[in-house]
Structure 1
Amino acid sequence: MSDKTISVLNLLDMDLKGHNALNIRCLAGRNGLSREIKASDVNRPGLALSGFYESFAHERVQLFGRGEYAYLQKLEGEENLDPIKKFFTYEIPCVVFSQNLQPSETILSLAESSGVPVLQSDLGSSEFAQRIIRVLSNIFAPSKTLHGVFVEVYGVGILLTGESGVGKSETALELIERGHRLVADDIVEIRCVNGNSILGQGANKLISHHMEIRGLGIINVAQLYGVGAIREQKEVQIVIKLETWDQTKVYDRIGTETHFMDMLGVKIPLIEIPVKPGRNLPIIIEAAAMNERLKTMGYYSAREFNQNILRWIESGEAQKAYYGGEDLY
């Protein structure tokens, strides 16, 4: 059960397209459209209609497929309406008939009197269940907003963080110029999906693809570089923290240790990159993205380097070079 809610009316009004489209319309119970959906799962109420109401998940969206529909017709044919009447006494958010199944006037009348919205979709039961669970899971997913710039580099989602003025937007602009894509600038909304993935997008979709460049002002990335330079959302796979170079700080030079940042309970690899004049940050970030892709394929450059050094020492070549007086440099 989530602490977030969405009304049935909000669900009807959502502009869902493609593989998320629910294709739903309201048949009855419009006075109950303000009812709240509090769970991302759906329930098939076959057991409840048969009279078994123990552990009845009435707080979920109730989905009627061909099996439940046939059972309703059987009950009506036997003039046994008590199980149906009892069903509508529960605080149900809404009832959905899939595959364009048309409920009888008796069902619609009971729904109207109890204030339960009855919806209809042309999708099959399994497909509708998958889509609405996906949609509601995204809505109910834990979320927060962060200050940073979110870009996609070589297919890897990289969140650039750091103090204001360190050069996040300018670095992202150079990456866009080099053919990579912007997801969001300044305010990034992240959501934990399925408990192990962090999705990021602009907190405000109307302005998420605009960038503020000091000395230049606000620019529209989609207008300047085309729609191929933007993306609506992406999984956060690396966090890169840009910070002003600190002479007293020891920075990682080998990369054998992996640091992480906790995001909504999910550990995301964290890389700290010091910034100073002369450093080409876009190229460094591109290298970090490609290195991360290699890691997902099971190849770790730093570990291989370390192992090669150990093999070189164990082979005796290092001792020969040292005692033989050879100039290693």
Structure 2
Amino acid sequence: MQSHRLPAAASPLHENLLASRIRSILREKIHRCVTLHGVALACGERGILLTGPSGIGKTTAALEAVRKGYDWIADDLAVIKSIQGRLMISGHPGIQQYIHTQAAGIAAADRMLDGSRRRKKAELAFVIDVFRATREEISRPLETRILETNLPLVRVGIPRTGYLRQNLLGRAIQKLNEVG
């Protein structure tokens, strides 16, 4: 269609944004793959996705979790693929080797982490969504849906001037472990 300059659809979106969204939909529906903003960790064989706004402390809390025995998978962009009914989480190949924190800026993951604490992928077991709130809170276990698969979800509220801390992350993970 493009070579003949024929419109395939009408949209109020800019051409590049529309093309990006169409590619995303095709990747999800055909390749069973989505890319989400977040940090990916693993605890044993279970993958954990931390989502939430930039600057709320996801990466810092995840780095502290790695110091306490978790494995690092990815910062900023998590790639989730459905493979034979299992959701596998990994990092985006273009940036998987980097970590971004407010304190250090963008740094090579090898400089910040012991190589034995890094992992390429894990089976996604649950999602922790961090958001700004008026007070600190952890929701009861909920559900979210990724690639037509239901996953346990806990929402963690962070006071407007605070950041996600390791103990809050640990409590959220403990709550999710209690439900399976």
What is the TM-score when the length of structure 2 is the normalising length?
A: 0.71
* 1:252–1:202 Cα change, 3 Å: closer
The answer for the alignment partner of 1:266 in structure 2 is 149
Aligned partner (choices 229, 233, 239) of residue 121 of structure 2? 233
| Residues 1-329 of structure 1 mapped to structure 2, 5 A cutoff | 141-153=31-43, 155-195=45-85, 197-204=86-93, 207-246=95-134, 255=140, 258-276=141-159, 281-296=165-180
Decide which structure has greater helix share.
Answer: 1
Higher relative contact order (CA 8 A, sep 6+): 2
| 1: CA distance, partners of 2:62 / 2:138 | 23
CA deviation map 1:145-196 (0-9, x unaligned): 111111113543110101122121111122122232110111111011223x
Q: Which runs of 4+ in 1 moved over 4 A?
A: 277-280
Report if the CA contact (8 A) 2:126-2:153 is conserved.
yes
- Percent identity, aligned pairs only, is 25
CA deviation map 1:252-301 (0-9, x unaligned): 66x3xx411110100111111011367773223223334434433xxxxx
SS of structure 2 residue aligned to 1:163: coil
| 1: CA distance, partners of 2:142 / 2:60 | 25
Decide which structure has greater strand share.
Answer: 2
Q: Over aligned residues, Cα RMSD in angstroms?
A: 2.6
What is the TM-score when the length of structure 1 is the normalising length?
A: 0.41
Query: Number of matched residues?
Result: 150
SS of structure 2 residue aligned to 1:242: strand
* 1:203–1:291 Cα change, 3 Å: same
SS of structure 1 residue aligned to 2:154: strand
Q: Which amino acid aligns with 1:292?
A: L
SS of structure 2 residue aligned to 1:208: coil
SS of structure 2 residue aligned to 1:241: strand
| 1: CA distance, partners of 2:53 / 2:128 | 12
Q: Which amino acid aligns with 2:47?
A: G
TM-superposed CA distance for 1:221, in Å, is 2.8
Computing the radius of gyration from Cα coordinates, the structure with the larger value is: 1
Unaligned stretches of 5+ in structure 2? 1-29
